[in-house]
Chains A and B, each alone.
Chain A
Protein backbone atom coordinates (compact mmCIF):
# COMPACT_ATOMS: atom_id res chain seq x y z
CA UNK A 1 0.00 0.00 0.00
CA UNK A 2 1.50 3.32 -1.11
CA UNK A 3 0.48 6.36 0.89
CA UNK A 4 -0.02 9.69 -0.92
CA UNK A 5 -0.87 12.93 0.83
CA UNK A 6 -3.71 14.77 -0.85
CA UNK A 7 -1.77 18.05 -0.66
CA UNK A 8 0.58 16.71 -3.34
CA UNK A 9 -2.30 16.79 -5.81
CA UNK A 10 -3.17 20.50 -5.57
CA UNK A 11 -0.03 21.98 -7.26
CA UNK A 12 -0.09 19.27 -9.94
CA UNK A 13 -3.69 20.10 -10.86
CA UNK A 14 -2.89 23.81 -10.82
CA UNK A 15 -0.02 23.32 -13.29
CA UNK A 16 -2.13 21.11 -15.57
CA UNK A 17 -4.79 23.85 -15.78
CA UNK A 18 -2.27 26.56 -16.70
CA UNK A 19 -0.15 24.47 -19.09
CA UNK A 20 -3.12 22.97 -20.95
CA UNK A 21 -4.45 26.48 -21.63
CA UNK A 22 -1.19 27.80 -23.09
CA UNK A 23 0.62 24.92 -24.80
CA UNK A 24 -1.13 23.10 -27.62
CA UNK A 25 -0.19 19.43 -28.22
CA UNK A 26 2.23 18.48 -31.04
CA UNK A 27 -0.38 16.07 -32.37
CA UNK A 28 -2.77 18.96 -33.08
CA UNK A 29 -0.03 21.05 -34.73
CA UNK A 30 1.03 18.12 -36.95
CA UNK A 31 -2.53 17.49 -38.11
CA UNK A 32 -3.15 21.18 -38.82
CA UNK A 33 0.03 21.30 -40.97
CA UNK A 34 -0.97 18.17 -42.84
CA UNK A 35 -4.43 19.58 -43.62
CA UNK A 36 -3.16 23.07 -44.49
CA UNK A 37 -0.97 21.53 -47.22
CA UNK A 38 -3.95 19.70 -48.73
CA UNK A 39 -6.32 22.68 -48.38
CA UNK A 40 -7.63 24.22 -51.61
CA UNK A 41 -9.45 27.29 -50.27
CA UNK A 42 -7.24 30.40 -49.78
CA UNK A 43 -9.36 31.69 -46.87
CA UNK A 44 -9.05 28.28 -45.16
CA UNK A 45 -5.25 28.22 -45.60
CA UNK A 46 -5.03 31.72 -44.14
CA UNK A 47 -7.21 30.87 -41.13
CA UNK A 48 -4.95 27.90 -40.31
CA UNK A 49 -1.92 30.26 -40.51
CA UNK A 50 -3.63 32.58 -38.00
CA UNK A 51 -4.20 29.56 -35.71
CA UNK A 52 -0.44 28.81 -35.88
CA UNK A 53 0.38 32.46 -35.11
CA UNK A 54 -1.99 32.28 -32.13
CA UNK A 55 -0.28 29.12 -30.82
CA UNK A 56 3.11 30.86 -31.03
CA UNK A 57 1.88 34.08 -29.36
CA UNK A 58 0.20 32.15 -26.53
CA UNK A 59 3.55 30.60 -25.52
CA UNK A 60 5.47 33.87 -25.96
CA UNK A 61 3.04 35.91 -23.86
CA UNK A 62 1.97 33.12 -21.48
CA UNK A 63 -1.65 33.80 -22.40
CA UNK A 64 -4.36 31.16 -22.91
CA UNK A 65 -4.84 30.09 -26.54
CA UNK A 66 -8.56 30.81 -26.24
CA UNK A 67 -10.40 33.10 -23.83
CA UNK A 68 -12.76 30.19 -23.14
CA UNK A 69 -10.50 28.16 -20.88
CA UNK A 70 -13.33 25.75 -20.37
CA UNK A 71 -14.93 23.49 -17.83
CA UNK A 72 -12.12 21.65 -16.05
CA UNK A 73 -12.90 17.99 -16.80
CA UNK A 74 -10.69 15.41 -15.05
CA UNK A 75 -10.20 11.72 -15.68
CA UNK A 76 -8.51 10.16 -12.68
CA UNK A 77 -7.04 6.67 -12.82
CA UNK A 78 -6.49 5.72 -9.21
CA UNK A 79 -4.27 2.71 -8.50
CA UNK A 80 -6.02 0.36 -6.09
CA UNK A 81 -2.83 -0.03 -4.00
CA UNK A 82 -2.89 3.64 -3.04
CA UNK A 83 -4.03 4.99 0.28
CA UNK A 84 -4.91 8.70 0.03
CA UNK A 85 -4.38 10.62 3.28
CA UNK A 86 -4.69 14.19 4.48
CA UNK A 87 -8.02 15.19 2.98
CA UNK A 88 -10.62 14.85 0.26
CA UNK A 89 -9.48 14.03 -3.30
CA UNK A 90 -12.34 15.94 -4.93
CA UNK A 91 -11.66 19.03 -2.82
CA UNK A 92 -7.94 18.85 -3.65
CA UNK A 93 -8.73 18.83 -7.37
CA UNK A 94 -11.12 21.77 -6.99
CA UNK A 95 -8.50 23.67 -5.00
CA UNK A 96 -5.97 23.05 -7.80
CA UNK A 97 -8.51 24.40 -10.32
CA UNK A 98 -9.20 27.44 -8.13
CA UNK A 99 -5.46 28.26 -7.87
CA UNK A 100 -4.68 27.46 -11.53
CA UNK A 101 -7.47 29.58 -12.98
CA UNK A 102 -6.54 32.49 -10.69
CA UNK A 103 -2.77 32.41 -11.06
CA UNK A 104 -2.87 31.57 -14.77
CA UNK A 105 -5.23 34.48 -15.53
CA UNK A 106 -7.70 32.00 -17.01
CA UNK A 107 -11.37 32.78 -17.50
CA UNK A 108 -13.89 31.69 -14.91
CA UNK A 109 -16.73 30.19 -16.92
CA UNK A 110 -18.87 28.25 -14.43
CA UNK A 111 -22.29 29.42 -13.21
CA UNK A 112 -23.77 28.04 -10.00
CA UNK A 113 -27.16 26.94 -11.32
CA UNK A 114 -27.77 26.15 -14.97
CA UNK A 115 -31.13 27.84 -15.50
CA UNK A 116 -32.47 30.40 -13.07
CA UNK A 117 -29.69 32.29 -11.28
CA UNK A 118 -26.69 31.53 -13.54
CA UNK A 119 -24.38 33.33 -11.11
CA UNK A 120 -20.67 32.96 -11.85
CA UNK A 121 -18.83 30.96 -9.16
CA UNK A 122 -15.81 33.21 -9.85
CA UNK A 123 -13.19 30.48 -9.48
CA UNK A 124 -14.14 28.06 -12.28
CA UNK A 125 -15.19 25.37 -9.81
CA UNK A 126 -16.73 22.88 -9.59
CA UNK A 127 -14.58 20.70 -11.81
CA UNK A 128 -16.20 17.67 -13.42
CA UNK A 129 -14.37 14.59 -12.13
CA UNK A 130 -14.48 10.98 -13.35
CA UNK A 131 -12.74 8.42 -11.17
CA UNK A 132 -11.62 4.99 -12.40
CA UNK A 133 -10.03 2.40 -10.16
CA UNK A 134 -7.10 0.64 -11.88
CA UNK A 135 -4.47 -1.91 -10.79
CA UNK A 136 -1.16 -0.58 -9.44
CA UNK A 137 0.08 2.12 -7.07
CA UNK A 138 0.06 5.23 -9.28
CA UNK A 139 -2.45 8.03 -9.89
CA UNK A 140 -2.84 9.38 -13.40
CA UNK A 141 -4.59 12.73 -13.61
CA UNK A 142 -5.75 13.86 -17.05
CA UNK A 143 -7.27 17.28 -17.61
CA UNK A 144 -9.40 17.87 -20.69
CA UNK A 145 -10.50 21.51 -20.34
CA UNK A 146 -13.51 21.85 -22.63
CA UNK A 147 -14.88 25.02 -24.19
CA UNK A 148 -18.62 25.72 -24.34
CA UNK A 149 -18.94 26.45 -28.07
CA UNK A 150 -18.00 22.97 -29.24
CA UNK A 151 -19.70 21.22 -26.30
CA UNK A 152 -22.99 22.85 -27.39
CA UNK A 153 -22.77 21.03 -30.75
CA UNK A 154 -22.67 17.58 -29.11
CA UNK A 155 -25.55 15.08 -29.01
CA UNK A 156 -26.68 11.63 -27.84
CA UNK A 157 -29.08 9.56 -29.92
CA UNK A 158 -30.65 6.24 -28.95
CA UNK A 159 -30.65 4.47 -32.33
CA UNK A 160 -32.07 1.09 -33.39
CA UNK A 161 -30.02 -1.94 -34.43
CA UNK A 162 -31.85 -1.74 -37.76
CA UNK A 163 -30.19 1.64 -38.43
CA UNK A 164 -26.90 -0.24 -38.84
CA UNK A 165 -23.47 1.26 -39.28
CA UNK A 166 -24.79 3.34 -42.21
CA UNK A 167 -27.32 4.97 -39.89
CA UNK A 168 -24.61 5.71 -37.34
CA UNK A 169 -22.31 7.25 -39.95
CA UNK A 170 -25.18 9.38 -41.32
CA UNK A 171 -26.03 10.63 -37.81
CA UNK A 172 -22.43 11.62 -37.03
CA UNK A 173 -21.95 13.36 -40.39
CA UNK A 174 -25.29 15.14 -40.02
CA UNK A 175 -24.34 16.31 -36.50
CA UNK A 176 -21.18 17.91 -37.93
CA UNK A 177 -23.16 19.41 -40.84
CA UNK A 178 -25.71 20.98 -38.48
CA UNK A 179 -22.87 22.38 -36.36
CA UNK A 180 -21.41 24.33 -39.29
CA UNK A 181 -19.04 27.05 -38.18
CA UNK A 182 -20.32 27.15 -34.59
CA UNK A 183 -17.87 24.79 -32.80
CA UNK A 184 -14.72 26.53 -34.19
CA UNK A 185 -13.65 24.10 -36.90
CA UNK A 186 -11.20 22.50 -37.61
CA UNK A 187 -12.76 20.13 -35.07
CA UNK A 188 -12.09 16.68 -33.67
CA UNK A 189 -15.15 14.42 -33.69
CA UNK A 190 -15.42 12.17 -30.64
CA UNK A 191 -17.84 9.27 -31.11
CA UNK A 192 -19.09 7.01 -28.33
CA UNK A 193 -20.86 3.82 -29.41
CA UNK A 194 -22.72 1.43 -27.14
CA UNK A 195 -22.87 1.19 -23.36
CA UNK A 196 -26.09 2.87 -22.30
CA UNK A 197 -27.48 6.41 -22.48
CA UNK A 198 -24.92 8.10 -20.22
CA UNK A 199 -21.98 5.81 -20.95
CA UNK A 200 -22.14 6.58 -24.68
CA UNK A 201 -21.62 10.28 -23.93
CA UNK A 202 -18.70 9.53 -21.63
CA UNK A 203 -17.16 7.25 -24.28
CA UNK A 204 -17.44 10.05 -26.83
CA UNK A 205 -15.61 12.41 -24.47
CA UNK A 206 -12.97 9.80 -23.56
CA UNK A 207 -12.34 9.03 -27.24
CA UNK A 208 -10.97 12.58 -27.55
CA UNK A 209 -8.11 11.70 -25.18
CA UNK A 210 -6.44 9.51 -27.82
CA UNK A 211 -3.56 11.41 -29.49
CA UNK A 212 -4.56 12.49 -33.00
CA UNK A 213 -1.60 10.71 -34.61
CA UNK A 214 -2.57 7.32 -33.14
CA UNK A 215 -4.79 5.04 -35.16
CA UNK A 216 -7.72 3.24 -33.54
CA UNK A 217 -6.27 -0.08 -32.27
CA UNK A 218 -9.28 -1.95 -33.71
CA UNK A 219 -9.04 -1.99 -37.55
CA UNK A 220 -12.83 -2.31 -37.79
CA UNK A 221 -13.34 1.05 -36.09
CA UNK A 222 -10.29 2.62 -37.76
CA UNK A 223 -12.03 2.00 -41.10
CA UNK A 224 -15.27 3.62 -39.90
CA UNK A 225 -13.29 6.62 -38.58
CA UNK A 226 -11.66 7.09 -42.02
CA UNK A 227 -15.01 6.86 -43.76
CA UNK A 228 -16.66 9.43 -41.47
CA UNK A 229 -13.65 11.78 -41.74
CA UNK A 230 -13.82 11.76 -45.52
CA UNK A 231 -17.58 12.41 -45.52
CA UNK A 232 -17.24 15.20 -42.96
CA UNK A 233 -14.50 16.92 -44.93
CA UNK A 234 -16.57 16.65 -48.12
CA UNK A 235 -19.23 18.85 -46.46
CA UNK A 236 -17.17 21.94 -47.38
CA UNK A 237 -17.64 23.61 -43.97
CA UNK A 238 -13.91 24.30 -43.55
CA UNK A 239 -12.04 26.28 -40.88
CA UNK A 240 -14.47 28.53 -38.96
CA UNK A 241 -17.28 27.43 -41.29
CA UNK A 242 -16.17 29.87 -44.00
CA UNK A 243 -15.59 27.10 -46.54
CA UNK A 244 -12.80 24.61 -47.16
CA UNK A 245 -11.75 20.98 -46.96
CA UNK A 246 -10.52 21.10 -43.36
CA UNK A 247 -13.65 20.63 -41.27
CA UNK A 248 -12.31 17.88 -39.00
CA UNK A 249 -8.75 16.83 -38.21
CA UNK A 250 -9.79 13.43 -36.88
CA UNK A 251 -12.73 11.20 -35.98
CA UNK A 252 -12.16 9.05 -32.89
CA UNK A 253 -14.38 6.17 -31.86
CA UNK A 254 -14.68 4.32 -28.54
CA UNK A 255 -17.11 1.40 -28.46
CA UNK A 256 -18.47 -0.80 -25.62
CA UNK A 257 -20.97 -3.66 -25.39
CA UNK A 258 -24.63 -2.74 -25.02
CA UNK A 259 -28.12 -4.17 -24.35
CA UNK A 260 -29.85 -6.24 -27.07
CA UNK A 261 -32.57 -3.58 -27.44
CA UNK A 262 -30.22 -0.59 -27.66
CA UNK A 263 -27.76 1.16 -29.91
CA UNK A 264 -26.67 4.39 -28.22
CA UNK A 265 -24.56 6.81 -30.27
CA UNK A 266 -22.97 9.96 -28.87
CA UNK A 267 -21.03 12.69 -30.63
CA UNK A 268 -18.80 15.04 -28.64
CA UNK A 269 -17.35 17.84 -30.74
CA UNK A 270 -13.95 19.30 -29.81
CA UNK A 271 -12.60 22.58 -31.21
CA UNK A 272 -9.06 23.07 -32.58
CA UNK A 273 -7.95 24.36 -29.14
CA UNK A 274 -7.77 20.73 -28.07
CA UNK A 275 -6.53 20.88 -24.47
CA UNK A 276 -5.56 17.65 -22.80
CA UNK A 277 -2.65 17.15 -20.41
CA UNK A 278 -1.76 14.38 -17.98
CA UNK A 279 0.43 13.88 -14.94
CA UNK A 280 1.33 10.68 -13.08
CA UNK A 281 2.05 10.55 -9.35
Chain B
Protein backbone atom coordinates (compact mmCIF):
# COMPACT_ATOMS: atom_id res chain seq x y z
CA UNK B 1 0.00 0.00 0.00
CA UNK B 2 1.29 3.42 -0.89
CA UNK B 3 1.15 6.79 0.88
CA UNK B 4 -0.89 7.76 3.92
CA UNK B 5 -3.07 10.85 3.50
CA UNK B 6 -4.65 12.91 6.28
CA UNK B 7 -8.23 14.04 5.58
CA UNK B 8 -10.23 16.53 7.62
CA UNK B 9 -14.03 16.90 7.62
CA UNK B 10 -16.00 18.51 6.12
CA UNK B 11 -14.40 17.28 2.89
CA UNK B 12 -13.71 19.64 0.02
CA UNK B 13 -13.57 18.75 -3.68
CA UNK B 14 -9.83 19.61 -3.74
CA UNK B 15 -9.20 16.95 -1.06
CA UNK B 16 -11.10 14.32 -2.99
CA UNK B 17 -9.55 15.12 -6.37
CA UNK B 18 -6.17 13.96 -4.97
CA UNK B 19 -7.43 10.56 -3.82
CA UNK B 20 -6.86 7.39 -5.82
CA UNK B 21 -8.02 3.86 -5.09
CA UNK B 22 -5.64 2.00 -2.77
CA UNK B 23 -4.59 5.17 -0.93
CA UNK B 24 -4.53 4.83 2.84
CA UNK B 25 -6.28 7.71 4.55
CA UNK B 26 -6.54 8.85 8.17
CA UNK B 27 -9.77 10.75 8.80
CA UNK B 28 -10.03 13.44 11.49
CA UNK B 29 -13.04 15.55 12.47
CA UNK B 30 -16.77 14.99 12.85
CA UNK B 31 -18.45 12.11 11.02
CA UNK B 32 -21.93 10.57 11.32
CA UNK B 33 -23.10 6.98 11.73
CA UNK B 34 -26.06 5.45 9.90
CA UNK B 35 -27.13 1.94 8.92
CA UNK B 36 -30.15 0.54 7.08
CA UNK B 37 -32.96 1.90 9.27
CA UNK B 38 -31.48 5.41 9.64
CA UNK B 39 -30.79 5.59 5.89
CA UNK B 40 -34.44 4.88 5.18
CA UNK B 41 -35.51 7.70 7.50
CA UNK B 42 -33.00 10.18 5.99
CA UNK B 43 -34.17 9.40 2.47
CA UNK B 44 -37.84 9.68 3.53
CA UNK B 45 -37.04 13.19 4.85
CA UNK B 46 -35.34 14.20 1.60
CA UNK B 47 -38.26 12.88 -0.45
CA UNK B 48 -40.68 14.89 1.73
CA UNK B 49 -38.41 18.00 1.30
CA UNK B 50 -37.83 18.13 5.07
CA UNK B 51 -34.67 19.09 6.93
CA UNK B 52 -32.16 16.38 7.87
CA UNK B 53 -31.04 15.96 11.51
CA UNK B 54 -27.52 17.15 10.51
CA UNK B 55 -26.03 19.24 7.72
CA UNK B 56 -24.95 16.59 5.22
CA UNK B 57 -22.91 18.89 2.94
CA UNK B 58 -19.29 17.73 2.72
CA UNK B 59 -19.84 15.10 5.39
CA UNK B 60 -18.94 11.43 5.79
CA UNK B 61 -21.37 8.72 6.86
CA UNK B 62 -19.86 5.66 8.57
CA UNK B 63 -21.97 2.51 8.14
CA UNK B 64 -21.73 1.21 11.69
CA UNK B 65 -23.89 0.04 14.57
CA UNK B 66 -21.46 0.20 17.50
CA UNK B 67 -21.39 -2.07 20.53
CA UNK B 68 -22.24 -0.28 23.83
CA UNK B 69 -19.46 1.70 25.54
CA UNK B 70 -17.90 0.39 28.73
CA UNK B 71 -18.02 2.97 31.56
CA UNK B 72 -15.51 5.78 30.92
CA UNK B 73 -15.14 4.91 27.24
CA UNK B 74 -16.64 7.00 24.40
CA UNK B 75 -17.86 3.97 22.41
CA UNK B 76 -17.67 0.18 22.18
CA UNK B 77 -16.30 -1.85 19.28
CA UNK B 78 -17.17 -0.03 16.06
CA UNK B 79 -16.21 -1.68 12.78
CA UNK B 80 -17.99 -1.25 9.43
CA UNK B 81 -21.12 -3.07 8.33
CA UNK B 82 -21.70 -4.37 4.77
CA UNK B 83 -22.33 -1.45 2.45
CA UNK B 84 -24.46 -2.95 -0.37
CA UNK B 85 -27.52 -2.70 1.89
CA UNK B 86 -27.15 1.09 1.75
CA UNK B 87 -26.84 1.10 -2.09
CA UNK B 88 -30.53 1.99 -2.70
CA UNK B 89 -30.17 5.11 -0.51
CA UNK B 90 -26.62 6.38 -1.10
CA UNK B 91 -27.16 8.11 -4.50
CA UNK B 92 -29.96 10.21 -2.94
CA UNK B 93 -27.68 11.27 -0.06
CA UNK B 94 -24.79 11.99 -2.46
CA UNK B 95 -27.15 14.22 -4.47
CA UNK B 96 -27.93 16.03 -1.20
CA UNK B 97 -24.25 16.83 -0.61
CA UNK B 98 -22.76 13.77 1.12
CA UNK B 99 -19.07 13.43 0.14
CA UNK B 100 -17.83 10.28 1.80
CA UNK B 101 -19.00 6.87 2.99
CA UNK B 102 -17.13 4.34 5.14
CA UNK B 103 -18.14 0.69 5.02
CA UNK B 104 -17.06 -2.71 3.80
CA UNK B 105 -17.68 -4.62 0.58
CA UNK B 106 -18.27 -3.44 -2.99
CA UNK B 107 -20.88 -0.87 -4.14
CA UNK B 108 -23.39 -1.02 -6.99
CA UNK B 109 -22.92 0.62 -10.40
CA UNK B 110 -25.57 3.21 -9.46
CA UNK B 111 -23.60 4.27 -6.38
CA UNK B 112 -20.30 4.38 -8.31
CA UNK B 113 -21.93 6.50 -11.05
CA UNK B 114 -23.35 8.82 -8.40
CA UNK B 115 -19.90 9.18 -6.80
CA UNK B 116 -18.47 10.24 -10.18
CA UNK B 117 -21.34 12.72 -10.72
CA UNK B 118 -21.22 14.20 -7.20
CA UNK B 119 -17.47 13.89 -6.55
CA UNK B 120 -17.94 11.45 -3.69
CA UNK B 121 -15.58 8.82 -2.32
CA UNK B 122 -16.14 5.41 -0.71
CA UNK B 123 -13.69 4.34 1.95
CA UNK B 124 -13.20 0.71 2.98
CA UNK B 125 -12.60 -0.06 6.62
CA UNK B 126 -11.52 -3.49 7.84
CA UNK B 127 -14.59 -5.53 8.77
CA UNK B 128 -14.09 -7.35 12.03
CA UNK B 129 -11.28 -5.00 13.16
CA UNK B 130 -13.80 -3.23 15.38
CA UNK B 131 -11.59 -2.65 18.42
CA UNK B 132 -8.87 -1.11 16.22
CA UNK B 133 -11.45 1.24 14.65
CA UNK B 134 -12.89 2.22 18.04
CA UNK B 135 -9.48 3.48 19.20
CA UNK B 136 -9.75 6.42 16.76
CA UNK B 137 -13.18 7.47 18.06
CA UNK B 138 -12.78 10.08 20.78
CA UNK B 139 -16.43 11.05 21.40
CA UNK B 140 -19.88 9.80 20.39
CA UNK B 141 -23.29 11.37 20.81
CA UNK B 142 -26.71 10.20 19.59
CA UNK B 143 -28.20 13.06 17.55
CA UNK B 144 -31.25 11.36 16.03
CA UNK B 145 -33.47 8.27 16.14
CA UNK B 146 -32.56 7.10 19.63
CA UNK B 147 -35.38 4.53 19.31
CA UNK B 148 -33.25 2.62 16.80
CA UNK B 149 -30.74 1.63 19.52
CA UNK B 150 -27.42 0.73 17.93
CA UNK B 151 -28.83 1.95 14.59
CA UNK B 152 -29.41 5.54 15.84
CA UNK B 153 -27.50 8.35 14.13
CA UNK B 154 -24.41 9.25 16.16
CA UNK B 155 -22.09 12.20 15.74
CA UNK B 156 -18.54 10.90 16.17
CA UNK B 157 -15.37 12.88 16.81
CA UNK B 158 -12.62 10.88 15.16
CA UNK B 159 -8.84 11.22 15.09
CA UNK B 160 -6.92 9.48 12.34
CA UNK B 161 -9.59 6.87 11.60
CA UNK B 162 -7.80 4.40 9.27
CA UNK B 163 -9.45 3.62 5.90
CA UNK B 164 -8.53 2.68 2.34
CA UNK B 165 -9.92 4.49 -0.72
CA UNK B 166 -12.05 1.82 -2.45
CA UNK B 167 -13.87 4.04 -5.00
CA UNK B 168 -12.45 7.40 -6.08
CA UNK B 169 -14.21 10.25 -7.91
CA UNK B 170 -12.80 8.96 -11.21
CA UNK B 171 -14.92 5.79 -11.18
CA UNK B 172 -12.12 3.38 -10.25
CA UNK B 173 -12.98 0.42 -8.02
CA UNK B 174 -10.39 -1.23 -5.76
CA UNK B 175 -12.64 -4.28 -5.26
CA UNK B 176 -12.79 -4.94 -9.00
CA UNK B 177 -9.10 -4.16 -9.58
CA UNK B 178 -7.77 -6.03 -6.53
CA UNK B 179 -9.62 -9.21 -7.45
CA UNK B 180 -8.62 -8.97 -11.15
CA UNK B 181 -4.92 -8.70 -10.23
CA UNK B 182 -5.02 -11.68 -7.88
CA UNK B 183 -7.23 -14.11 -9.82
CA UNK B 184 -5.56 -17.32 -11.06
Chain A residues in contact with chain B, CB under 8 A? 40-44, 46-47, 50-51, 53-54, 57-58, 61-69, 105-109, 118, 120, 122, 148-149, 152, 180-184, 234-238, 240-245, 271-273
CA distance A271 to B80 in the complex (A): 13
A44 to B148, CA, bound (A): 35
Q: What are 17 A-B contacts with C-beta separation under 8 Å?
A: A41-B178, A42-B1, A51-B128, A58-B131, A65-B131, A67-B66, A68-B65, A107-B150, A108-B150, A180-B106, A180-B175, A181-B106, A236-B182, A237-B182, A243-B174, A243-B179, A272-B128
User: Which of B105, B128, B131, B166 has a CB less than 8 Å from the CB of A63?
Assistant: B131
Q: Complex: how many Å from CA A43 to CA B84?
A: 22
Return chain B residues, CB-CB under 8 Å to A66.
77, 79, 127-128, 130
B55-89 interface mask toward A, CB cutoff 8 Å, 1 = contact, 0 = none? 00000000011111110000011110110100000
B132 touches A54 (CB 8 A): yes
Please report the C-alpha to C-alpha distance between residue A42 and residue B164 in the assembled complex, in whole angstroms: 13
B1 contacts A238, CB within 8 Å?
no
Shortest distance between the CB of B61 and any CB in chain A (Å): 16
Counting from the closest, the 6 A-B pairs by CB-CB distance are A243-B178, A236-B182, A236-B183, A184-B127, A182-B105, A54-B129
Known: A50-B132, A54-B132, A66-B77. A182 touches B84 (CB 8 A): yes
Interface pair A243/B181, CB less than 8 Å apart: yes
Report the contact-size class of chain B (Cβ under 8 Å from the partner): 35 or more
Report yes or no: B105 in contact with A64, Cβ–Cβ below 8 A.
Answer: no
A242 and B166 in contact, given A67-B67, A235-B183 (Cβ under 8 angstroms): yes
Residue of B nearest to A179 (CB): B105
B175 contacts across to A, CB distance below 8 A: 180-181, 241-242
- Which residue of B64, B78, B131, B177 is within 8 Å of A243 (Cβ)? B177
Chain A residue with Cβ nearest B75: A67
Q: Is B130's CB under 8 angstroms from A67's CB?
A: yes
